[in-house]
């Protein structure tokens, strides 16, 4: 075995005394500069060596002390080391200060429910008086039978008959949009759908961007549900961005009669709200729904936050790109097309 | 094939040209897999591992109802080693590593924040060249940070060896940091993992015979190696964080 | 799946308070073992180790087999550990984590450290070797199975006698104990395990009972021989412990290993004397001399 | 060491089990432990009676078909002995660990051992019953068991391995405390007449020949050497007296 | 030596040994089974005991697993809670017993004790049926008072044999059970609280860790080593001196 023997080091340095090892950190730098030629590629530039690093970045990482000032209270993403006042980060993210509350918001994390969140979820289990709903949180959320609009009137009392036919409202696999009503001690959420905005979802497609970080991908915004007037004869398409990173894109269905009397709406509830049957959806609408889906996927890939503004812009750009490539009107926005769309989005913002 | 260690005392360089206290090249990436809650890819020299974290998600609390369970899966690819041997599911060495990783993070993560749920850590070994357990622990730490699961501090790991085997009572033996496969086969070594680059040792595994007196030196080098690894991993996380901030996702 | 209750909150609190006052529930010192009792069976290679209420029975057997093709000179040495419902109902069913880790620890301490000279088991290279098998039966589990099992296997290996053998050309003849006296195995060193349990970051207990094990935050098993060679260290996760404490554990381990080695030495000697008195040659015939 | 023909018993010596016993006889030593009645997994539970689980573990190696066969005999027998209707949806778990067998005459005798199932059966049966008694699990009866070999020289009690190998047939019989035959397992060639003889001999050895409902006359029967029932009774008497020494 | 006969399972009782009471019906205690029309058979190994006053007969034995009987007092460990119940365990590997949230003194829908998993309660068995889940209560259903039942805080639990638990709970342990340890400890000035569960668990609390341990260990040793009255007296005095 051929070994190139490099010039031996001076004899004095040949045997590093063993008790010396503990201080080796101190000589580390000198050691490294000695053999600068052997610089490890994995080593980051010296300026960013932690010992010398000025904490100019806003990123804080687990184990890092946020403050040792005892006037702050610790919030999410931090802990206080036993027998000290130091508040230490437990996640990698940015510091957030709310009054005297200090918390670290992770760069990315699973969705943690908060009261008032609009979420899209999927029924995973039907129990006698409630449903268990996957909302992408650490544990399933609950939707009590008492927290939905029952057919035949908003104010109607729930009866045993309703309990027996609980599956006629929601059954396993059904998708719904709901609001977080309350939180339990273990962090699990209780949902409600007691508004016409909420309820069962149909006539569309489901997407999950929770991989890009629930809180990070979809942000809590003023408007999470809106309508896009699509191009190409697709008509109106609804977009629902669940704060939990679950997204629903569907054909817009006009509530029958528009703003007629409330009693009419109630009747409406009974007939269609819990239907699992899709309406007639034209090919054009389907194309545009798919295009919006692709747009969102593209934004996720590019690490752009998902909100009404970015989606609308990107959608317009995508429509523009599609009109250039007439005849190849697939909604697919991978590769080159995606780059063009993103360039357009960048220009307009 | 026995490893020729005789040249070490001449040049004080190891066969791959490193000094006694030098780590191999460590490169790592996080958020490598968008569909997982957290993911990482880590290379320590030619040891390459992939880690994905899913969760915390529903179902769990079997050990303790007030905490999340941690489930670890470890798959060692048949092509990862020299002998291309398939590692079965029932392999005790694998079970031991799985149990070590599970137990390490069970006392590092704040699992009490996620009662009745499970955190899945799935590890894939693509290539093995020594310090496997250390690489797995490091990759898991990164993926767990990426998943935003609260932890006390980084768990970082490295290996340390000694330049002469147990039989030769060589007083002048040097400790070595971060062993590769051929060094592991020939020399006594240990794997050590510490919390946050401190002297707090979470994992200490040694499977070879060595004089007790040599332990201190090896442990000190190993602990120091963990400290260095922590800085490298921390830089990876910070770099990634900066990018995320730049793209305006937060 | 039957489950164990585990210590109640009251017991946990009481235990931790007692630790603060430097008291253990069974009023032992933190660094003390329970009483160790080592017995040997009537047959060779059977050891019965009792540490407090923990009891482990080890049985060594030898058989002539063909060696593995890649190791033609080595006699295979296997250690099987079985935790049955006898030790705890939760051990019925597939091997538990406890069982796998115990097997691994014994394997690392005894096999990887080369305690048994496997080459001495070779009769005809590539054709015939003695294969040695150690069956470890846990009869009662009140903590610290590892140390008990390791002591049990080493003691049983030292106690074991395989049948004497003769090789004539290609033929191997193994004599029964009646025909010729048995041959002791060749052991290169006698590694033993000492397990430390950690609490509250700094309290270190030796030889934890089952309930102490259920309440510990971490543990470390050190395998050593009396010459001060560390054969194996296993701190497999758990709460972090200062490196200095771990090093002091290895010093403490040596003391216990020396003590256990002495117990083993004495008991082996006593057993040898007992056997000699009866006349080892007279032994086989006694089997037939039964009460009519 | 010398193999004692007299059986020896240690009762309730294992920690963490509900009952335990070590029984040695004819060179066989078996350690038994019982847990129960305990929770049983949903999959295995019986709605009206207890599940009886018997595990036999050999001294060396892992259990195979031989052990499974012994387990099935034991399980069927013990279900008759235990009041299983008292514990519906519960489990009574019996583990029998063989620790020594009397066959060290020839090295590597595992193969020989594997072909012979019966000789160890009486020890297993006796151990399991003693273990159940130690756990105070309600039983309908106690049980005594014996191994007999029919050789050209006549019927032998507690035969050695060699004698078994030379025997025409081997029989294991077990009797309840009321003298009813519970187990009859035979191996070899024999006629019904021979079997009848075997039955008579076995019954005489196992059961204390007395009117069944008179339990207080045992003193007079002590001389009847070999009354296994007497032996079991004296062992338990000792245990009960020790346990209840506080009770006047 | 023993006046009372030792019984083995399957032994028929001699009608002569049965107590004969003119008016009361014969009561069969543990370990006996009535096979109609008029045979009585033992099911365990133990000693036959009779009580002529109560016209009762039973088998005294000490071993095995605790088998729940209605009205027994037990020390149970909370396993987890559900909306209306706590699930509590009274021995390892047994299925859980049900303890209603409201069966505590003064408990109402609004205020009921919050018990974490692992907490101990001293409870009475209200339902023990082989086909049904065990049920417990920590309050007397008739008076609404706890009568000493309820959550146990602090202290330490020691395991003893089932017979020892019975002896500790006898109305006159000294006379009926040759057990004077507790009285002697009290007389020697040791102060402590004790709760005995029929399931073989004894809870002890006192002012210090050391004395609690000493008392607990003494109870265990009396049980395991079979200390007679004299020995109990000596040891109790010695211990009282040590801990005071």
Going from the first residue of chain D to its last (248 residues), give the mean pLDDT of each consecutive group of 10, the final group possibly shorter.
64 88 90 92 90 92 87 94 93 93 55 63 94 93 91 85 85 89 91 92 75 40 56 86 78
Nearest-CA residue of chain A relative to B110? A90
H or E element: which one contains B121?
strand B117-127
C-beta atoms surrounding E145 within 10 Å:
11
Mean per-residue pLDDT over chain B, rounded = 88
pLDDT-derived band at A10, boundaries 50, 70, 90:
very low
Picking from B36, B217, B247, the nearest residue to A303 by CB comes out as: B247
* Closest listed residue to residue E124, CA positions, set E101, E150, E154, E142: E150
* Contact criterion met (CB < 8 Å) for B66 and E80: no
pLDDT-derived band at A197, boundaries 50, 70, 90:
confident
Inter-residue contact D136 to E64 (CB < 8 Å): yes
* pLDDT at res. D216: 40
Picking from D178, D214, D243, the nearest residue to E62 by CB comes out as: D243
- Tens of pLDDT along D111-170? 444 456 788 999 999 999 999 999 999 999 999 999 999 988 888 888 888 888 888 899
Count of CB pairs separated by less than 8 Å, C with E: 54
* Contact criterion met (CB < 8 Å) for D246 and E44: no
Q: Which of helix, strand or coil describes residue D107?
A: coil
Is the pLDDT at B63 greater than 90? The verdict is no
Picking from D57, D60, D102, the nearest residue to C133 by CB comes out as: D60
Q: Please list the helix, strand and coil fractions of chain E in percent, rounded to the nearest 5, in that order.
A: 20, 30, 50
Class of domain E6-60: mainly beta
Considering the domain delimited by A108-201, tell me its CATH architecture: Beta Barrel (2.40)
Chains that touch B (3 or more CB pairs under 8 A): A, C, E
Cβ contacts (< 8 Å) between B227 and chain A: which residues?
A: 25
Mean pLDDT calculated for residue range B168-184 = 79
Q: Enumerate the H helices of D16-156 as residue ranges.
A: 65-81, 110-115, 121-134
How far apart are the C-alpha atoms of D227 and D218, rounded to whole Å? 11
Picking from D87, D216, D244, the nearest residue to E60 by CB comes out as: D244
Write down the domain spans for chain C: 25-284
- Tens of pLDDT along B195-211? 998 999 999 999 999 98
* Contact criterion met (CB < 8 Å) for C9 and E118: yes
* pLDDT at res. A33: 38
Q: Is residue D1 part of a domain?
A: no
pLDDT-derived band at A347, boundaries 50, 70, 90:
low
Q: Which CATH number is A40-106 given?
A: 2.40.50.100
Is the pLDDT at B10 greater than 70? The verdict is no
How far apart are the C-alpha atoms of B115 and D212, rounded to whole Å? 61
pLDDT-derived band at A186, boundaries 50, 70, 90:
confident
* Closest listed residue to residue C24, CA positions, set C256, C250, C197, C220: C197
**E213: exposed, middle or buried (Cβ count in 10 Å: 0-12, 13-18, 19+):** buried
* pLDDT at res. A348: 57
Picking from A15, A24, A59, the nearest residue to B242 by CB comes out as: A59
Mean pLDDT calculated for residue range A151-175 = 80
Inter-helix orientation angle D121-134/D65-81, to 10° = 50
Class of domain E157-243: alpha beta
How far apart are the C-alpha atoms of B23 and B11, rounded to whole Å? 18
The span from the first CA to the last CA of chain E, in angstroms, equals: 41
Instruction: At A190, list the tokens.
Output: 């209780």
Picking from D38, D86, D142, the nearest residue to E9 by CB comes out as: D142
Write down the domain spans for chain E: 6-60, 73-153, 157-243
- Tens of pLDDT along A301-338? 777 778 888 888 888 888 888 777 765 556 677 777 77
Mean per-residue pLDDT over chain A, rounded = 75
Q: Cα A282 from chain centroid?
A: 30
Inter-helix orientation angle C97-106/C145-159, to 10° = 40
Inter-residue contact A214 to A110 (CB < 8 Å): yes
Is the pLDDT at B129 greater than 50? The verdict is yes
Cα angle C267-C272-C275, degrees, rounded to a multiple of 5: 125
- Residue B198: C-alpha distances to residues B179, C190, E129 (Å): 21, 35, 57
D112 touches chain E (CB under 8 A): no
Write down the domain spans for chain A: 40-106, 108-201, 204-349
* Closest listed residue to residue E64, CA positions, set E35, E36, E31: E31
The span from the first CA to the last CA of chain C, in angstroms, equals: 49
Nearest-CA residue of chain D relative to E96? D39
Nearest-CA residue of chain C relative to E115? C9
Domain extent for D153: 8-247
* Contact criterion met (CB < 8 Å) for E9 and D246: no
Inter-residue contact D135 to D18 (CB < 8 Å): yes
CA distance, residue D233 to nearest chain E CA (Å): 7
Count of domains forming chain D: 1
Q: Cα A203 from chain centroid?
A: 23
pLDDT-derived band at A231, boundaries 50, 70, 90:
confident
* pLDDT at res. C158: 95
Nearest-CA residue of chain C relative to B96? C101
E80 touches chain B (CB under 8 A): yes
Mean pLDDT calculated for residue range A280-295 = 89
Q: Which CATH number is E73-153 given?
A: 2.40.50.140
- Tens of pLDDT along C229-266? 999 999 999 999 999 999 999 999 999 999 999 999 99
Cβ contacts (< 8 Å) between D24 and chain C: which residues?
A: none
- Tens of pLDDT along C264-283? 999 999 999 988 765 545 44
Instruction: At E89, list the tokens.
Output: 């365990």
All domains of chain B, ordered by start, with CATH? 27-247 (3.30.230.70)
Cα angle D86-D90-D95, degrees, rounded to a multiple of 5: 105
Q: Is residue D123 part of a domain?
A: yes
Instruction: At D91, list the tokens.
Output: 């489990």
* Choice among A94-98, C8-12, D225-229 with the minimum mean pLDDT: D225-229
Residue A136 carries which DSSP code? Answer: S
* Closest listed residue to residue A120, CA positions, set A131, A136, A108: A136
Helices (H) and strands (E) in chain A, counts: 8, 17
**Which fold would CATH assign to domain C25-284?**
Ribosomal Protein S5; domain 2 (3.30.230)
pTM: 0.88
D72 touches chain E (CB under 8 A): no
For chain C, give the percent of residues with pLDDT over 90.
70
Chains E, C in contact, 3 or more Cβ pairs below 8 Å: yes
A106 touches chain B (CB under 8 A): yes
* Contact criterion met (CB < 8 Å) for C85 and D55: yes
Better pLDDT: B48 or A48: B48
Radius of gyration of chain A (CA): 28
Cβ contacts (< 8 Å) between A210 and chain B: which residues?
A: 37
Better pLDDT: B84 or E122: E122
How far apart are the C-alpha atoms of D208 and D65, rounded to whole Å? 35
Picking from B65, B115, B116 by the largest number of E CB atoms within 10 A of its own CB, the best residue to mutate is B65
């Amino acid at each position: 075995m051929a070994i190139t023997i490099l010039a031996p080091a001076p004899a004095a340095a040949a045997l590093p005394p063993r008790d010396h090892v503990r201080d080796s950190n101190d000589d580390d730098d000198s050691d490294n500069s000695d053999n600068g030629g052997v610089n490890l590629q994995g080593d980051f530039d010296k300026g960013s060596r932690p010992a010398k690093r000025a904490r100019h970045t806003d990123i804080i990482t687990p184990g890092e002390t946020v403050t040792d000032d005892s006037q702050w209270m610790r919030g999410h993403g931090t802990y206080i080391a036993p027998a000290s006042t130091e508040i230490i980060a437990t996640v990698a993210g940015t510091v957030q200060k709310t009054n005297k509350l200090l918390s670290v918001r992770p760069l990315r994390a699973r969705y943690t429910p908060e009261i008032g969140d609009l979420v899209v979820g999927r029924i995973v289990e039907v129990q006698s008086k409630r449903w268990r709903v996957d909302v992408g949180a650490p544990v399933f959320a609950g939707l009590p039978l008492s927290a939905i609009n029952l057919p035949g009137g908003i104010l109607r009392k729930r009866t045993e008959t309703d309990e027996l036919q609980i599956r006629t409202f929601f059954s396993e696999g059904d998708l719904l949009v709901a609001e977080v009503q309350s939180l339990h001690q273990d962090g699990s959420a209780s949902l409600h759908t007691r508004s016409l905005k909420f309820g069962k979802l149909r006539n569309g497609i489901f997407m999950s961007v929770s991989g890009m970080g629930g809180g990070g991908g979809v942000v809590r915004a003023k408007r999470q549900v809106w309508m896009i007037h699509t191009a190409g004869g697709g008509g109106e398409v609804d977009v629902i961005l669940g704060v939990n990173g679950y997204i629903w894109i569907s054909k817009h269905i006009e509530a029958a009669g528009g703003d007629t009397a409330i009693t009419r709406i109630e009747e409406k509830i009974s007939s269609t709200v819990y239907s699992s049957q899709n309406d007639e959806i034209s090919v054009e609408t389907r194309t545009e729904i798919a295009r919006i889906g692709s747009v969102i996927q593209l934004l996720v890939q590019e690490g752009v936050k998902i909100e009404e503004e970015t989606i609308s812009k990107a959608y317009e750009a995508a429509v523009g790109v599609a009109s250039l490539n007439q005849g190849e009107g697939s909604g697919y926005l991978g590769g080159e097309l995606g780059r063009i769309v993103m360039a357009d989005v960048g220009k307009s913002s | 094939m026995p490893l020729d260690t005789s040249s070490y005392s001449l040049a004080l360089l190891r066969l791959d040209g490193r000094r006694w206290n030098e780590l191999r090249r460590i490169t790592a990436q996080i958020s490598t897999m968008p569909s997982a809650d957290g993911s990482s890819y880590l290379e320590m020299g030619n040891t390459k591992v992939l880690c994905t974290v899913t969760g915390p998600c529903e179902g769990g609390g079997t050990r303790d109802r007030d905490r999340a369970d941690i489930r670890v899966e470890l798959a060692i690819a048949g092509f990862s080693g020299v002998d291309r041997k398939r590692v079965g599911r029932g392999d005790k060495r694998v079970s031991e590593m799985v149990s070590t990783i599970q137990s390490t993070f069970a006392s590092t993560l704040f699992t009490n924040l996620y009662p009745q749920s499970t955190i899945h850590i799935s590890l894939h070994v693509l290539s093995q060249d020594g310090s496997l357990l250390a690489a797995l622990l490091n990759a898991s730490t990164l993926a767990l940070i990426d998943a935003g699961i609260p932890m006390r501090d980084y768990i970082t790991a490295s290996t340390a060896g000694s330049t002469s085997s147990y039989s030769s009572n060589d007083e002048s033996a040097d400790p070595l940091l971060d062993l590769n496969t051929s060094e592991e086969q020939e020399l006594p070594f240990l794997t050590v993992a510490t919390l946050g680059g401190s002297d707090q040792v979470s994992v200490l595994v040694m499977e070879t015979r060595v004089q007790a007196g040599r332990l201190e030196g090896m442990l000190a080098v190993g602990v120091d190696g963990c400290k260095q690894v922590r800085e490298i991993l921390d830089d990876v996380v910070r770099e990634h964080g900066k990018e995320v901030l730049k793209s305006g996702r937060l | 799946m039957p489950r164990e209750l585990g210590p109640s909150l009251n017991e946990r609190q009481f235990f931790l308070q007692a630790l603060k006052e430097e008291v253990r529930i069974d009023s032992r010192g933190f660094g003390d073992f329970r009483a160790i009792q080592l017995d040997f069976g009537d047959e060779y290679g059977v050891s019965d180790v009792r540490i407090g209420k923990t009891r482990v029975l080890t049985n060594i057997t030898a058989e002539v087999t063909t060696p593995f093709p890649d190791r033609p000179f080595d006699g295979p040495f296997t250690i099987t550990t079985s935790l049955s419902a006898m030790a705890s109902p939760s051990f019925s069913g597939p091997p538990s984590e406890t069982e796998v880790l115990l097997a691994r620890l014994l394997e690392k301490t005894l096999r990887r450290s080369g305690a048994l000279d496997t080459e001495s088991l070779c009769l005809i290279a590539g054709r015939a070797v003695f294969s040695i098998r150690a069956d470890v039966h846990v009869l009662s589990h009140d903590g610290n199975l590892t140390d008990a099992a390791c002591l049990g296997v080493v003691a049983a290996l030292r106690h074991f006698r395989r049948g004497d053998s003769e090789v004539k050309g290609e033929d191997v003849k193994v004599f029964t104990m009646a025909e010729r006296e048995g041959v002791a195995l060749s052991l290169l060193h006698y590694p033993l395990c000492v397990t430390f349990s950690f609490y509250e970051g700094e309290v270190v207990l030796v030889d934890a009972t089952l309930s102490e094990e259920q309440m510990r935050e971490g543990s470390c098993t050190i395998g050593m021989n009396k010459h001060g060679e560390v054969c194996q260290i296993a701190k497999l996760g758990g709460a972090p412990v200062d490196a200095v404490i771990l090093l002091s554990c290895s010093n403490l381990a040596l003391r216990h290993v020396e003590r256990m080695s002495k117990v083993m030495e004495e008991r082996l000697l006593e057993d040898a004397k007992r056997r000699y008195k009866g006349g080892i040659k007279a032994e086989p015939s006694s089997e037939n001399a039964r009460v009519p | 060491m010398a193999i004692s023909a007299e059986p020896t018993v240690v009762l309730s010596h294992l920690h963490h089990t509900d009952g335990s016993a070590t029984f040695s006889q004819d060179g066989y030593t078996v350690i038994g432990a019982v847990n129960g009645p305990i929770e049983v997994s949903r999959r295995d539970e019986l709605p009206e009676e207890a599940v009886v689980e018997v595990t036999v573990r050999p001294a060396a190696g892992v259990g195979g078909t031989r052990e499974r066969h012994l387990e099935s005999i034991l399980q069927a027998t013990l279900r008759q002995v235990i009041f299983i209707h008292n514990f519906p949806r519960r489990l009574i778990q019996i583990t029998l660990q063989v620790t020594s067998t009397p066959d060290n005459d020839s090295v590597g005798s595992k193969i020989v051992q594997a072909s012979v199932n019966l000789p160890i059966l009486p020890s297993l049966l006796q151990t399991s019953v003693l273990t159940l008694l130690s756990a105070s699990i309600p039983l309908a009866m106690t049980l005594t068991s014996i191994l007999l070999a029919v050789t050209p020289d006549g019927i032998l009690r507690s035969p050695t391995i060699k004698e078994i190998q030379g025997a025409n047939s081997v029989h294991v019989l077990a009797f309840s405390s009321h003298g009813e035959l519970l187990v009859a397992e035979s191996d070899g060639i024999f006629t019904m007449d021979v079997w009848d003889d075997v039955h008579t001999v076995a019954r005489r050895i196992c059961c204390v020949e007395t009117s069944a409902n008179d339990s207080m006359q045992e003193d007079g029967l002590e001389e009847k050497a070999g009354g296994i029932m007497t032996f079991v009774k004296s062992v338990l008497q000792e245990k009960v007296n020790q346990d209840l020494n506080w009770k006047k | 030596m023993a006046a009372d006969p030792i019984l083995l399972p399957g032994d028929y009782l001699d009608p002569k040994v049965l107590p004969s009471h003119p008016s009361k019906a014969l009561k069969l205690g543990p370990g006996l089974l009535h096979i109609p029309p008029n045979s009585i058979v033992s099911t365990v190994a133990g000693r036959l005991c009779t009580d002529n006053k109560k016209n009762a007969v039973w088998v005294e034995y000490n071993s095995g697993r605790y088998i729940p009987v209605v009205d027994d007092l037990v020390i149970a460990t909370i396993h987890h809670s559900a909306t209306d119940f706590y699930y509590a365990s009274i021995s390892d590997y047994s299925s859980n017993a049900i303890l209603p949230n409201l069966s505590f003194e003064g408990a109402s829908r609004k205020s009921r004790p919050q018990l974490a998993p692992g907490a101990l309660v001293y409870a009475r068995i209200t339902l023990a049926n082989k086909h049904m889940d065990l049920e417990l209560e920590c309050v007397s259903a008739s008076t609404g008072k706890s009568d000493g039942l309820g959550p146990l805080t602090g202290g330490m639990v020691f395991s003893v044999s089932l017979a020892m638990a019975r002896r500790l709970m006898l109305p006159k342990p000294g006379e009926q059970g040759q057990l004077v340890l507790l009285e002697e400890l009290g007389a020697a000035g040791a102060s402590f609280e004790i709760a005995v569960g029929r399931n073989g668990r004894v809870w002890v609390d006192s002012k210090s860790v050391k004395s609690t341990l000493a008392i607990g260990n003494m109870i265990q040793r009396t049980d395991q080593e079979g200390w007679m009255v004299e020995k109990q007296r000596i040891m109790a005095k010695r211990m009282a001196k040590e801990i005071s």
